[in-house]
Chains A and B, each alone.
Chain A
């Protein structure tokens, strides 16, 4: 063998040093005898440093490396919906067919099934000029579900041929006059945002179906929210509830460095759950990207980029897409592990100094946009990112970096979780910058008093906090009758408005109308009590229990 073959000179964790090799940054390579996928992340002279997307134990100094001349791309096209991919886009079912129940290195599998045939109906014809984003035609991917086949973003020219018919994703469906072939699918580098025509503001909310978010801390469509919280405070349940019930055309769910059994939950629940708006299983509108905590770290780092690229692809077809990331912190930690192995100068808590930039760039890929190509259309990607702060302490770098770009924060509180108050959203520290812009929509679709209810409820909870502080200092005797009423009413608001049981068949989702009705009814209870007090009845004569039980029945009742 000649000395020119690039060979492994060092293996340290998921990093591999290779020489002689002159490659481009982020270029892909096949590493070692098992041809594991890796990516160049540093180049110095003829020494390249690669991160390997697979388990490196057993990888040997001296094994050959072969660069591939391309960066990590996502294969985008029909067949994505309903699939379960690892962090670099391999369908886990296909990996299982290759390596069995346990994941072993070296499995190669394209994201899209090569043998699936799709019926394509062309909507453009030869002789027309097309450019990036133009819809070439459609596929009915599932009954009633159209997949629009697009001209890839940077491609344009005169359409020489385009045919309707049965195709696989690798069969050409036509070509441009310059010979560029067109397919049902195309590839896009995951670390590059897909272009849009124009970014738009949004007055339409991303309706979550969770009362505390929709009413108190709403997110606009195309916005983003972060969900920081210590372990067990309910981040995953929130991500899953939103994936199931939020109003989105498509959901991309990234399990980034989390538990295997949680993905099993998703995989058993999503296919069985019917989306009331379409009558089809939730799984039909979902793409799952799964890189659990014990799967390779480098692929974990890549997983969120694959997720957003898939989300953008569906957005480009004109969809409203929700991207759930559980958990952003595990991505940041993967970045940190890599930086440490590269012996880069560490910033705060060992995270690389570019953490905030990378995080910012990622969250900036959310948005509502006017899309490239014709017909003219709009689409949105909303990002909901869980964050797992060490010790539940939000002053740590990942939470702080995310706060700089977040439009809303749903702060989860361990104390509330210990009280089994779920979602354990701390209403004092959480915020939303979208509340005003989406208020008109909620007033129209939820109920006329939306904003007033929101303000009055917030004030009530604030008042309760003050009174409880007083009571804990000097005892409940110091409180007046009206104070007792406020405390009781606030308790009822917490119970029937803020709390929402994800496991309850009817309470798990709450429409804006139901949220409005419950909030209004809870406040009416307070107002009635106040009237009784001012008519001279003492607080001890007011029995709130029956009304409270009526409200709980309303909460748990069948209307969504």
Chain B
């Protein structure tokens, strides 16, 4: 940006919703940071979203109740939005625009960075291949998470999406025990939800390795557009300049999208599907794509965004556009939740697209792919049989379908559900094999003879499975 000088204007032409309209400004820049002052009121912050010689539009991040455009004093700061980053942010809490929220003084930090980030040059990316053991069987076995992946949780109203994220944060083990950190952005969630999440971090001792950015439900709505970007800017510094493996959790992207829609409506833009703006895909990509690994740099960013599917509808634009950008999704099921299966992960619509690179010999186990395919296939058949049984009765099903149905029940209760807490990858394999072992060989066509024989040899060797190495 050129001419980065502060300019002060008295009075704006108009205000409406979260927008402020200025006339005849000099040398405004797109994205320029703006401060709006009014006597007797707290300063408001904003960003230029349309820079013009004659008319400029500022998007305000704070509430506009009481804002009188003609009496406001508007400062164009000559800079785009920035934030302080550094290792000393670990253990700290900030609000949704990066001000200290834990009573401690503002950090000095190691650097100041613009919050919009820049695209990682695709030729400089390294391929994500390192298996993260989350301790959640439904993920480790069938939707494996790897370092540098963006894997969202598709939750529904009242479903424990954030709780699953908390569990992953608590339970995850780095592949080789390297340093790792958590950056959490609360975006429009309730103070209770955010407190519960933070309490769990604290209880698990992870707080000293965590940075919090908290924009809660009571905080300004437009600020929701900022919080994830602050979190990712902080994460990028820790990952790519300090060599730390960072797990970024953002909850809830649904609130983010609603803030985006609010701005679009205020600007009287032509709405896209269900009123969300046509550029929402591009906008969401500017957040989700800030995950990955860079060649020659030690750290990584793994992203777990949480979103709430309105009406549990996966075709709603928010989950839909997210799914089009992320590398898979973990889908929660209301039915499993109702039946007390925890975590209530429905593995059928769930997917990890980076799984193939992270599993197999030398990473998890040689047979991981076929074993996981078999669990999936048999469970899918069992679920289909369950639907069928509702019509014709379980006894009307062919014997193989009856077996699959029994398998599906056991799979949900003894594999998906984890009342006993965290499972190591070996325990997950043991649990999966013990379910498969109850089926005749002919039901297990995905398992090769070699794997079958190797497994049979293993399981007859005393306690080889019960006590994993």
Contact = CB atoms under 8 A, between A and B. Distances in A.
B119 interface: yes
B122 A350 contact: no
B61 interface: no
A201 interface: no
Interface of A is mostly: mixed
Contact of A58 (B29, B273, B279): B29
B396 A476 contact: yes
Nearest to A473: B391
B369 interface: yes
B124 A12 contact: no
Interface in A229-287: 230-232, 255, 257, 259-261, 263-265, 267-268
Contact of A261 (B116, B124, B127): B127
Contacts of A263: 122-123, 125
A455 to B, nearest CB: 28
A58 B31 contact: yes
B125 A340 contact: no
A230 B329 CA distance: 13
B27 A259 contact: no
Interface in B309-365: 315-317, 320-321, 323-325, 327-329, 348-349, 351, 353-354, 356
A12 B123 CA distance: 29
A333 B278 contact: yes
B445 A552 contact: yes
Contacts of A255: 122
Interface in B1-42: 1-3, 25-31
A297 interface: yes
B457 to A, nearest CB: 21
A231 B2 contact: no
Contact of A232 (B127, B281, B323, B398): B323
If over half of B's interface residues share one DSSP class (helix, strand or loop), that class is named, otherwise mixed; here it is mixed
B377 A420 contact: yes
B404 to A, nearest CB: 13
B380 interface: yes
B1 A264 contact: no
A260 B279 CA distance: 19
A11 B30 contact: yes
B269 to A, nearest CB: 7
B124 A96 contact: yes
B148 interface: yes
A103 B118 contact: yes
B281 A103 contact: no
B59 to A, nearest CB: 12
A103 B121 contact: yes
Contacts of B2: 33, 60, 62-63
Contacts of A210: none
Contacts of B128: 261
Contacts of A376: none
Contacts of B445: 545, 548-549, 552
B157 interface: no
Contact of B121 (A95, A330, A418, A420): A95
A57 interface: yes
A349 B272 contact: yes
A92 B122 contact: yes
Contacts of A292: 119, 122, 285, 289
A93 B272 contact: no
Interface string B59-91: 000000000000000000000100000000000
Contact of A420 (B271, B373, B442): B373
B27 A295 contact: no
B267 to A, nearest CB: 10
Given A9-B53, A337-B279, A420-B373, A476 B392 contact: yes
A68 interface: no
Contact of B123 (A13, A84, A388): A84
A103 B120 CA distance: 6
Contacts of A13: 30, 279
B234 to A, nearest CB: 16
B53 A294 contact: no
Contact of A260 (B30, B118, B120, B315): B120
B148 A57 contact: no
B297 interface: yes
Contact of B356 (A260, A290, A336, A503): A503
Given A261-B292, A293-B289, A388-B324, A62 B119 contact: no
A61 B380 contact: no
B111 interface: no
A224 interface: no
A171 B273 CA distance: 53
Nearest to A336: B278
B190 interface: no
In the complex, which of the residues B279, B317, B356 has the most CB atoms of chain A within 10 Å of its own CB atom?
A: B279
Contact of A472 (B126, B269, B327, B388): B388
Most chain B CB within 10 A, of A84, A103, A548, is at A103
B376 A420 contact: yes
A interface bracket (residues with beta carbon within 8 Å of B): 35 or more
A185 interface: no
Contacts of B324: 231, 388
B120 A545 contact: no
A481 interface: no
A84 B373 CA distance: 35
Contacts of B114: 57
B51 interface: yes
A60 B369 CA distance: 53
B270 interface: yes
Contacts of A476: 392, 396-398
A191 interface: no
Interface string A460-491: 00000000000011011100000000000000
Interface string B85-115: 0000000000000000000000000000010
A502 B396 CA distance: 37
Contact of B125 (A33, A58, A260, A477): A260
Given A57-B31, A263-B125, A548-B445, A330 B270 contact: no
A412 B28 CA distance: 47
A294 B119 contact: yes
A145 to B, nearest CB: 23
Contacts of B290: 294
Contacts of B348: 418
Contact of B270 (A95, A231, A340): A340
B371 interface: no
Contacts of A503: 356, 369
A84 B380 contact: no
A354 to B, nearest CB: 16
Given A60-B28, A393-B315, A92 B123 contact: yes
Given A92-B121, A476-B396, A232 B328 contact: yes
A300 to B, nearest CB: 9
A9 B29 contact: no
A150 interface: no
Given A392-B315, A419-B380, A350 B278 contact: yes
A103 B442 CA distance: 54
A364 interface: no
A10 B50 CA distance: 7
B315 A60 contact: no
A115 interface: no
Contacts of B54: 9-10
A101 interface: yes
A337 B278 contact: yes
B243 interface: no
11 contacts: A57-B30, A61-B25, A92-B121, A101-B297, A103-B119, A231-B324, A232-B329, A264-B125, A292-B119, A292-B289, A297-B282
Given A11-B50, A477-B392, 4 more contacts: A55-B119, A57-B30, A61-B25, A100-B121
The 5 tightest CB contacts between A and B, nearest first, are: A293-B285, A391-B315, A475-B392, A231-B323, A10-B52
